[in-house]
A and B are shown apart, each in its own frame.
Chain A
Amino acid sequence: MAEMAKKPADVLRKDGDPEGAFKRAAKVIERTYSAPYLAHNTMEPVNCFAHVTADKAEIYGPIQAPEFIVQTLAARLGLPKEKIHVKLARMGGGFGLRAYGHHMVEAAVISQKMNAPIKMVYTREDDMTYGIYRPTYTATYRAGLDENNNLIAFHVRGGGIPEHPVHANRFPAGAVDNYLAEGWQLDSNITIGAFRAPRSNFIAGAEQSFLDEVAELAGRDPIEFRLELLERSKSKPVGPSSNDYDADRYAGVLKLVREKSKWNESQPNVHRGVSAYFCHNTYVAEVLDLEMQDNKPIIQKVYAAVDCGIVVNPDSAKNMGEGGIVDGIGNALFGELTFVDGVPEKNNFDKYRLIRQKEAPKEIEVHFVQNEHDPTGLGEPLFPPVFAAVANALYKATGKRFYTQPFAKDLQVAPSRM
């Protein structure tokens, strides 16, 4: 992948004259971020009940996207779609894994062959080694500042196996005169799929870690720096492409998290990182406070500010937010699946480390912007920005930037088992 990162990539968006601007920049900073494959690890292993008879199929199991699997089942079983009944089981977690219905086809084919009702169950090992992973990604960022520390050039070049992680029209696109976004990808027989906030789940962490470093190079407060860029995207929008985000709502969550976290007040031994991201139609800003104890990060508190329009079920919405934050911290610190000769090196929870009770933040506050916009979702948006909030807080705590997930490797944190 390191080799590929140097080869030509597809230009996804180009504004102004990025190379010219980098040449005349007073300061240029370049950083590369990377993250491994991740397994979904839903607590309920993949399973499905099927009873296929000559004229109909009864299917009951976990599925996020029943519409698509009914097409596949109809083709494979040779039955009309209306003779395939899919009952929707409560799922023991989804996270994108259950958009894919291979298990339903497997169960149906087995039932057809046995001419009996069957329940197919994956062992945890089958589940973890089956594929449909979050892709492995990398992204190299470059930023150029002029002599007044204004951001005049920005370049992101992202790649992955088998898809790149770049969302070309997202922030800071539109706020920088000279902007270039590129993507490259490599084929693989290791299968990937949707994983909580596809692509954003990597690129948010990379981008927001990089902006933290750029803000530092520019001598600015990281929240102020972002707000200034957002203001520029409104007052002097760059580029013919429309941006994906609404600068006012984006700024709104940054201001709200600044207020709620009392960003400008420091506490002894508490190291803070900030991050903000817009994806899946919802705006999120997060501030994460951690303390180091025996070279181990103890996350004391996370503040989140969220703009998802009208909040339909507030306590439930908070629950989703808390979960996204905990999940993000866990994957940032520990999440990793590696391969040797096509075999995943981890196949169960004794090897694949998931976040546990002691490692969760001691406190999480989720605040919602009050407005009357039509509601947007919360299953994903709080997840992607946490990666950078962790990295930026770890930098404050250790003086070291974290570029490669999982971060616990660089911290050499031993699993705290019972």
Chain B
Amino acid sequence: MAKINLDINGKKQVVDVDPKTPMLWVLRDHLNLVGTKYGCGVAQCGACTILLEGTAVRSCMLPVSQVENKSITTIEGLSENGDHPVQKAWLEHDVAQCGYCQAGQIMTAVALLEKNPKPSDEEIEAALHGNICRCGTYLRIKAAVKTAAQS
């Protein structure tokens, strides 16, 4: 076990965990930030996507020791009231079916738009190709990203 300093959603916190613990489980089990989802544990589905210094990363294979003092944003940190432009676009298109993968999809979209505010269809598809939606809401996801890009 080791004390690790974290900067999550703008809040400094200390956790006492095995340094190898993936960030996903630190968020979910230790900090009760359960918006970030477990889907596969092998960085293949994107449900666990968070932002590390603004870049979308898979938290299920990211040891907590590697993110010490680095800025992390989770779905809970995007906005106070769900009014981040990407969240609003998701609501406007009523994207979700089961909703389980959507936090990961949204975080990937946020990272994309940070780097590329006006992505083409192909760029959106490429950026979100790593996020599986078993319900098949891919078209609405793409439409929501386009709406968010215009706002």
Contact A356 to B139, CB < 8 A, known contacts A42-B134, A43-B47, A320-B97: no
In the complex, what residues of B have CB within 8 A of residue A316's CB? 94
Q: Are B129 and A356 in contact (CB under 8 A)?
A: yes
Contact A360 to B134, CB < 8 A, known contacts A92-B98, A315-B94: no
Task: Please classify how large the interface on chain A is, using the bins under 10, 10 to 19, 20 to 34, 35 or more.
Answer: 35 or more
Q: Are B138 and A357 in contact (CB under 8 A)?
A: yes
Q: Give the contact stretch, choosing among B9-17, B34-42, B66-74.
A: B34-42
Nearest A residue to B124 via CB reads A357
Nearest B residue to A42 via CB reads B134
Which of A324, A354, A363 has a CB less than 8 Å from the CB of B139?
A: A363
Say yes or no: is B106 at the interface (Cβ < 8 Å to chain A).
no
A123-151 interface bits toward B, Cβ cutoff 8 Å, 1 = contact, 0 = none: 11000000000000000000000000000
B115-139 interface bits toward A, Cβ cutoff 8 Å, 1 = contact, 0 = none: 0000001001110111111111111
Chain B binding surface SS class: loop
Nearest A residue to B104 via CB reads A43
Say yes or no: is B88 at the interface (Cβ < 8 Å to chain A).
no
Q: Are B134 and A354 in contact (CB under 8 A)?
A: yes
Q: Are A350 and B100 in contact (CB under 8 A)?
A: no
Q: Are A319 and B94 in contact (CB under 8 A)?
A: yes
A233-249 interface bits toward B, Cβ cutoff 8 Å, 1 = contact, 0 = none: 00000000000000000
In the complex, what residues of A have CB within 8 A of residue B39's CB? 43-45, 124, 349
In the docked arrangement, what's the CA distance between A315 and B101, Å? 20
Q: Give the contact stretch, choosing among A166-174, A325-333, A394-402.
A: A325-333
Say yes or no: is B141 at the interface (Cβ < 8 Å to chain A).
yes
Which residues 345-373 of A have a CB within 8 angstroms of B?
348-350, 354-358, 360-364
In the complex, what residues of B have CB within 8 A of residue A43's CB? 37, 39, 45, 47, 98, 100-101, 132-135
Contact A323 to B42, CB < 8 A, known contacts A43-B37, A43-B47, A416-B129: no
Q: Are A357 and B125 in contact (CB under 8 A)?
A: yes
Say yes or no: is A417 at the interface (Cβ < 8 Å to chain B).
yes
Which residues 194-214 of A have a CB within 8 angstroms of B?
none
Chain A binding surface SS class: loop
Say yes or no: is A90 at the interface (Cβ < 8 Å to chain B).
yes
Contact A348 to B139, CB < 8 A, known contacts A44-B100, A319-B97: no
Question: A350 to nearest B CB, angstroms?
Answer: 5
Q: Are A45 and B38 in contact (CB under 8 A)?
A: yes
Contact A93 to B100, CB < 8 A, known contacts A43-B47, A124-B40, A348-B40: yes
Say yes or no: is A41 at the interface (Cβ < 8 Å to chain B).
yes
Contact A360 to B136, CB < 8 A, known contacts A43-B37, A124-B41, A416-B129: yes
Q: Are B125 and A322 in contact (CB under 8 A)?
A: no
Say yes or no: is A310 at the interface (Cβ < 8 Å to chain B).
no
Say yes or no: is A118 at the interface (Cβ < 8 Å to chain B).
no
Q: Are B132 and A44 in contact (CB under 8 A)?
A: no
Say yes or no: is B146 at the interface (Cβ < 8 Å to chain A).
no
Contact A323 to B135, CB < 8 A, known contacts A90-B99, A357-B141, A358-B126: yes
A96-126 interface bits toward B, Cβ cutoff 8 Å, 1 = contact, 0 = none: 0000000000000000000000000101100
Question: B144 to nearest A CB, angstroms?
Answer: 12
Which residues 77-103 of A have a CB within 8 angstroms of B?
90-95
A-B pairs with beta carbons under 8 Å apart, 7 shown = A41-B134, A42-B98, A93-B134, A124-B39, A323-B135, A327-B134, A349-B45
Which residues of A are interface residues toward B (Cβ below 8 A)? 41-45, 90-95, 121, 123-124, 315-316, 319-320, 322-327, 330, 348-350, 354-358, 360-364, 416-418
Known pairs A90-B99, A315-B94, A357-B131 / 14 extra A-B pairs, C-beta < 8 Å: A43-B133, A44-B37, A93-B100, A93-B135, A322-B137, A323-B135, A327-B134, A327-B135, A349-B40, A349-B132, A357-B128, A360-B136, A360-B138, A364-B139
